[in-house]
Chains A and B, each alone.
Chain A
Amino acid sequence: MSIMKLSKNFTNPLAANNPVIVQILGICSALAVTVKLEPAFVMGISVTFVCAFANLIMSLLRTGVPSRIRIIVQLVVIATLVIVVDQFLRAFMYDVSKQLSVYVGLIITNCIVMGRVEAFALGNKPWDAFVDGIANGFGYAFILVLVAFFRELFGSGTLFGFDVLACFGYVNNSLMLFPPMALIIVGVIIWVHRSINKDLQEK
């Protein structure tokens, strides 16, 4: 595979084919963990890790997996990786793991992971699949961090826990901390994105 195609595979999920704002996958966790930047950031990294390695492992196994039970095998691989992430967070980032609570476990059900494994990893070579996983994870993480940036900034007046707006006399808007606001911000991002990429607009 040429470098051109590889780099296209990498950049495509970041913008033109972003899993969250174009394919509208993984919205559930995007609403739940974007109150603060730190958990959003960790969640993005976790999904990237799971997505990349699930793709890699499934791509390595793709010739041996019996097609009748391939979904089950995918689930086992993804669930194993998620438990690995969960255990590591509990051991090394306990506070963040508490904030993410059930959403780490719910990475298993994140459509992005399974979608990429089923749609890409089973038909492509390991290295391509790995890059695709990382790219899709980054695409997801990017949107999460973007949403969390606005929610934390205007909801708590902080960024990564540091006071930013307090010195300007800004009064925190707690509406930003509620899940509906995440949906509205995601909607605005989709709006902006589609007005730039006109070919995505539905007729």
Chain B
Amino acid sequence: MAINKNSNAYIIIYTVVMVVIVGALLAFLATSLKPMQDANVLNEQKVSIMKAFGEADASFDEVVTMGRLVGGEFVAVDSEDKADVQAVFDILGNRKELAEAQDALPIFQLEKEGVVKYVLPIVGKGLWGDIWGYVALQQGEDNVVITGIVMDHAGETPGLGAEIATENWQKKFEGKQLYNAAGEFAVRMQKGGAQNEHQVDAITGGTKTCDGVNAMLANSIGKYESFLRGAAVEAEADTEECACCCEECDVESINE
């Protein structure tokens, strides 16, 4: 008896068998390739962090100290403890979790020629989707200074908002000071051009993306504020000591 290929029974059996075969095939493929894909993602995170540090040629594993900020204190992660290291990268890869995290915040430290730099992950929303990246900070004389930033985006408008992912625009953030004279977080992308040492030119036509970047910087860096300020206070304490003994410094600190 010939099979009626247009009968409902044949069609249902045909689809079920097809779906089972395809499902099994794809599940096997995805599972077997996952370790390599994860390694690629991990490597990309490390490269991004090294780019933020401005040390693109150095090896992450050799020079960077990974850590978490627990209750405002830097707690180093044991680089031998593979599971713990992976846990830090997992949270970096999970942007939603990272945005909501309030404690145990990931932070990376690099010490070179006596200068300590920190890299923090930043995450936020642009116009069309997520934006994220890493910002490198360094303790300046009396302020915290951005030494490098890398940003990426899921789907900002090419040529407009997507410019935040270009090196050209990211360079503009270098040397910007985090806090203004009133002690407020002041780094922002400013429409009409940067007015002071805190601001960065905004992208014409990319206002919504720039607003997203502003919010991202304020929120993400804000979570590290007590830690960053702790470092700033130490530095300020030094200048105040100096102020007691020399009038010029006094004038300077008032001006600030």
Contact = CB atoms under 8 A, between A and B. Distances in A.
Given A76-B18, A83-B26, A87-B30, A68 B36 contact: no
A178 B33 contact: no
Interface residues of A, number: 19
Interface in A23-41: none
Interface stretch (A90-98, A104-112, A136-144, A193-201): A90-98
B85 interface: no
Contact of B37 (A66, A73, A83, A91): A91
**Dominant SS among interface residues on chain A:** helix
B18 A87 contact: no
B10 interface: yes
Contacts of A65: 5, 14
Contacts of A73: 14, 18
Contact of B5 (A64, A83, A92, A178): A64
Contact-size category for B: 20 to 34
B215 to A, nearest CB: 25
**Dominant SS among interface residues on chain B:** helix
Interface in B140-173: 159
Given A66-B5, A66-B11, A84 B37 contact: no
A66 B8 CA distance: 10
Nearest to A32: B158
Contacts of A178: 159
Contact of B26 (A68, A72, A80, A94): A80
A87 B43 CA distance: 17
A107 B155 CA distance: 19
Given A67-B5, A73-B18, A87 B11 contact: no
Interface in B1-45: 5-6, 10-11, 14-15, 18-19, 22, 25-26, 29-30, 33, 36-37, 40-41, 43-44
Contacts of A94: 37, 40-41, 43-44
B143 to A, nearest CB: 36
A94 B26 CA distance: 19
A66 B7 CA distance: 9
Contacts of A90: 33, 37, 40
Interface of A: 64-69, 72-73, 76, 80, 83-84, 87-88, 90-92, 94, 178
